[in-house]
Amino acid sequence: MKSLPASKRSGILAGGNWIIDQVKIIDSYPALEQLANIRSQHQGTGGSPYNILLDLAKLGVEFPLFGAGLVGKDALGQSILEDCAKHKIDTKYLKSTADAATSFTDVMTIQGSGKRTFFHNRGANALWDGKDLDFSKSKARIFHLGYLLLLDKMDVVSKDGITGAAKLLAAAQAAGLKTCIDVVSEVGDRFKAVVTPALKHCDYAIINEYEAGMVTGFRIRKEGVLDTVSLRHAAGAILQLGVKDLVVIHFPEGCFARTRDGKDHWQPSLKVPDKAIAGTAGAGDAFAAGVLLGLHEGWDLQKSMLTGVCAAAASLSDPTCTGGMKPLAQVEALKKKYGVRPPLEPNEDDF
């Protein structure tokens, strides 16, 4: 079937993990068999497609949003579907199953620092294989898939070294969609086996510095300090693994991007004071939402990256993943409110 031209495409289709986060604000993280006090509790969104689509809706995008994945036939699953309807997210490809409960995560967030620890129940996400997605009928411009390493069916590596995620991304590309991935920051040795096959069918990769290092073997942060040389090497290695257009790596200090033609772009993050940080959960997805907004609209890459760090800053204002997101104008105004961190490299002069 002849694919639809990019000029006639509009919208972002995001598939993968759909999660309800139960966020507990605690006074400290206890050692084994010791106690910490829960100061407050909040329920929010979780998972790459859920967070990104909600953030885009709250930013006020005018293009269509589509969700794909699997939730349980239970109260949490129903709340996700209702939330999507409220924010005008098309759920044609977001199915319900009676075979597993809706996925949820208990997020323990330390009061003051915003540092968090996750206790995750994979639930229905573990059963999603994406076979119900018919890209030939989709008019979306971008297909985003996340998180690799947290989607059991997608992460299975066949005897020929191909994963379910790689096959799904290849099908999206064949139908004319641009493709993008995100990865979960797990501890283990699965990164190269699971993530590498998918990179061959990606137009964009938006990941953090830990994930980039685990995929490529470069040690990007040494004794807590970002190594910008290793960071650049990692981005180049990811492009060599098959990413077609762009690699964006984000970290607390900002972000770095390298394009297929070898151009490098740096963008420091905003100087958000500690007292304005309610939690860091969802900041990475908020950043991705800002970048994807720019990519969809054909913005200059530097503007897209700035929008990403502003969206991440907005996310920090709420303990849940998407509760802090605001309309785009308010998000962009945070640059003036907080200011931008110093350049990440001495030769930066365009901020």
- Fill in the DSSP letter of residue 270: B
What's the pLDDT tens digit per position in 93-112? 999 999 999 999 998 989 88
Q: Minimal CA–CA distance to 183: which of 154, 146, 151?
A: 146
Q: Minimal CA–CA distance to 283: which of 243, 255, 246, 259?
A: 255
Which residue's entry shows tokens 């099908």? 171
37 CB neighbour count, 10 Å cutoff: 11
User: CB of 50 within 8 A of CB of 80?
Assistant: yes
What's the pLDDT tens digit per position in 11-47? 999 999 999 999 899 999 999 999 999 999 989 999 9
* 348 pLDDT more than 60: no
Q: Helix (H, G, I), strand (E, B), or coil: what is residue 12?
A: strand
Q: Helix (H, G, I), strand (E, B), or coil: what is residue 74?
A: coil
* Token pair listed for 324: 């802090």
3-state secondary structure string, 118-169? EEEECHHHHHCCCCCCCHHHCCCCEEEEEEECCCHHHHCECCCCCEHHHHHH
Residues 84, 263: Cα–Cα separation, whole Å: 37
Q: What is the pLDDT of residue 310?
A: 98
Q: Helix (H, G, I), strand (E, B), or coil: what is residue 47?
A: coil
Q: What is the pLDDT of residue 2?
A: 57
Distance of CA 122 to CAs 29, 106, 301, Å? 23, 12, 35
Residues 48, 19: Cα–Cα separation, whole Å: 9
Residues 233-251 have a mean pLDDT of: 98
* Token pair listed for 333: 């105004």
What's the pLDDT tens digit per position in 40-93? 998 999 999 999 999 999 999 999 999 999 999 999 999 999 999 999 999 999
Q: Which CATH fold would you assign to the domain 11-338?
A: UDP-N-acetylmuramoyl-L-alanine:D-glutamate ligase (3.40.1190)
